């Protein structure tokens, strides 16, 4: 395995603004830390739906993680299979390269995938498996791309894993194919994973504006379409923290301009579509986008009315990772919700700057996790709702705090104009549900007042 140039990667992943003294936040021993680089790499690449994804390591690295993501597919499901080389004690001692070779051969023979992604794990990295060589040899022999993804869990955080997956795409996939016809208005979406089908809503909007979605990197992607991503006229980085480096390198290598944007909230969505039109440098396109966004915003404003009535003035604590920390704030603000606390745990300096641009001075920044810290903010700021991911959800339930799940396991799509409507409905539904009144009222025989908050 090539040595991983951590400093350089950290620098790219956190953005050029990250001061040297403060690289990517390092995991702190003794806390309930988030996912690892292996996890991050898988999140980025698993949405390539027709490819096979083989985990080279003990069976549980696959066993603990497969079937756990809400990244939807419109067709092929091969990416949902949990493939693992299942290294045991003997393989740790004698090496697992033969097993890897055989596994690749079996998958290629049986499932005829367009490509196989092979993930290293802590174990294979530590025992020094030469995965790159095995993949190269198998690739030459079988005639399909076998892509090594060198992102073992211990190298760092989930974000670093996203970044390493981006490296693998750049090194092995992008630029290896050509689209059938030239697409002068082709745009790539980078760092959009089609959670709960969000990408389909975005794609629909782009189609309506006449913008071609050239390559999805990687929500509901097919391997082939990523091979020609270098022919795009612009890149939009949807999750900036994860794959900004990929966009930067595509800019320097292929001259494709990029911008960072979001589809959470009407304003962000409109901005993103306009920005695409601007980078495509097509007057007619810009006019079309203006007409579309105006129409959609008007319609949304009308549809949102009943929800805004309820949501106006409500307070929320937002605890999520990376780009969502700032992009969701815009969406919430449009709904009339005040964000009184926001997690900055996994945010880069640029993200934090964007948060600051969007919230007022009295919003509390929650720099590190721990359920108690989040709950404390909810209590002190008298928040009406908590918006976070699955691992914090059940704590909110215990504390009787209305909750909306925003992370990758969720089942609702919140992107685009329709997505904002869905988010509004979800927030209202969660807040007005009668269980909260029931939960916080004392039982009839209980003479004490309602639970002290």
Tell which positions 57-76 bind other proteins, by CB under 8 A: 57-68, 72, 74-76
Q: How far apart are CA 314 and CA 301, in angstroms?
A: 18
173 binding other proteins? (CB under 8 A)? no
154 binding other proteins? (CB under 8 A)? yes
Instruction: Judge whether 427 and 328 are in contact, CB under 8 Å.
Output: no
> For residues 283 and 398, which CB has a smaller minimum distance to other proteins in the complex?
398
Q: How far apart are CA 23 and CA 245, in angstroms?
A: 15
Structure tokens at 126: 């530590």
384 binding other proteins? (CB under 8 A)? no
Which residues, numbered 90-119, are part of the site for other proteins (CB under 8 A)?
Answer: 91-92, 99, 101-103, 105-107, 110-112, 114
Sequence-distant (≥ 6) Cβ neighbours of residue 140 within 8 angstroms: none
298 binding other proteins? (CB under 8 A)? no
> For residues 17 and 154, which CB has a smaller minimum distance to other proteins in the complex?
154
Q: Give me the helix-helix angle, 158-168 and 37-45, nearest 10°.
A: 50
Please identify, among the stretches 163-171, 280-288, 333-341, 387-395, the one whose residues bind other proteins according to the rule CB under 8 A.
387-395
Site string for other proteins, 227-266 (x = CB under 8 A): ----------------------------------------
As a whole number of Å, the end-to-end CA separation of the chain is: 54
357 binding other proteins? (CB under 8 A)? no
5 binding other proteins? (CB under 8 A)? no
Strand, helix or coil for residue 146: strand
- Chain centroid to Cα 112, Å, comes to 28
297 binding other proteins? (CB under 8 A)? no
DSSP letter for 387, please. Answer: E
- Minimum Å gap between C-beta 364 and other proteins is 19
Among 1, 18, 33, 142, binds other proteins (CB under 8 A): 33
- What dihedral angle (degrees, nearest 10) is formed by the CA atoms of 210, 215, 219, 224? 130
Among 28, 283, 382, 447, binds other proteins (CB under 8 A): 28
356 binding other proteins? (CB under 8 A)? no
Q: Report angle CA 238, 386, 424 to the nearest 5 degrees.
A: 65
- Minimum Å gap between C-beta 312 and other proteins is 15
> For residues 175 and 279, which CB has a smaller minimum distance to other proteins in the complex?
175
Q: What is the CA radius of gyration of the chain?
A: 23
């Amino acid at each position: 395995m090539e040595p991983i140039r951590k400093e350089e990667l950290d620098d790219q992943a956190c953005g050029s603004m990250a001061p040297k003294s403060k690289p990517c936040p390092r995991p702190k021993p003794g806390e309930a830390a988030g996912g690892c680089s292996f996890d991050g790499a898988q999140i980025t690449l698993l949405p390539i739906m027709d490819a096979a994804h083989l985990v080279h390591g003990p069976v549980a690295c696959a066993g603990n993680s497969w079937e756990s993501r809400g990244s939807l597919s419109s067709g092929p499901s091969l990416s949902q299979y949990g493939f693992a080389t299942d290294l045991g004690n003997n393989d740790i001692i004698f090496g697992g390269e033969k097993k890897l070779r055989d596994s690749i051969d079996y998958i290629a023979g049986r499932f005829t995938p367009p490509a196989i992604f092979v993930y290293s794990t802590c174990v294979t990295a530590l025992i020094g498996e030469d995965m790159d060589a095995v993949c190269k040899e198998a690739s030459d022999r079988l005639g399909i791309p076998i892509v090594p993804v060198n992102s073992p869990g211990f190298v760092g955080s989930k974000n670093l894993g996203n970044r390493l997956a981006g490296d693998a795409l750049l090194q092995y996939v992008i630029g290896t194919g050509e689209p059938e016809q030239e697409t002068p208005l082709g745009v790539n979406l980078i760092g959009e994973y089609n959670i709960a089908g969000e990408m389909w809503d975005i794609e629909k909007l782009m189609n309506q504006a006449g913008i071609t979605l050239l390559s999805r990197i990687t929500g509901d992607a097919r391997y082939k379409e990523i091979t020609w991503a270098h022919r795009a006229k612009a890149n939009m980085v949807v999750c900036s923290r994860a794959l900004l480096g990929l966009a930067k390198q595509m800019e320097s290598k292929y001259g494709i301009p990029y911008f960072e944007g979001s589809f959470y909230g009407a304003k962000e969505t409109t901005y993103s579509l306009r920005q695409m039109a601007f980078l495509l440098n097509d007057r007619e396109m810009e006019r079309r986008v203006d007409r579309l966004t105006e129409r959609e915003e008007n319609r949304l404003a009308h549809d949102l009315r009943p929800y805004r009535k309820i949501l106006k003035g409500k307070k929320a604590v937002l605890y999520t990772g990376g780009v969502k920390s700032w992009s969701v704030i815009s969406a919430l603000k449009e709904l009339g919700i005040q964000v009184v606390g926001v997690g900055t745990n996994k945010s880069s300096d640029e993200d934090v700057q964007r948060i600051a641009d969007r919230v007022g001075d009295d919003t509390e920044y929650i720099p590190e996790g721990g359920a108690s810290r989040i709950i404390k903010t909810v209590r002190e700021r008298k928040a009406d709702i908590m918006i976070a991911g699955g691992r914090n959800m059940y704590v909110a339930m215990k504390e009787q705090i209305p909750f909306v799940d925003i992370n990758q396991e969720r089942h609702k799509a919140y992107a685009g104009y329709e997505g904002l409507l869905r988010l509004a409905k979800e927030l209202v539904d969660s807040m007005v549900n009668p269980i909260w009144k029931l939960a916080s009222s004392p039982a009839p025989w209980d003479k004490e007042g309602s639970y002290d908050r």
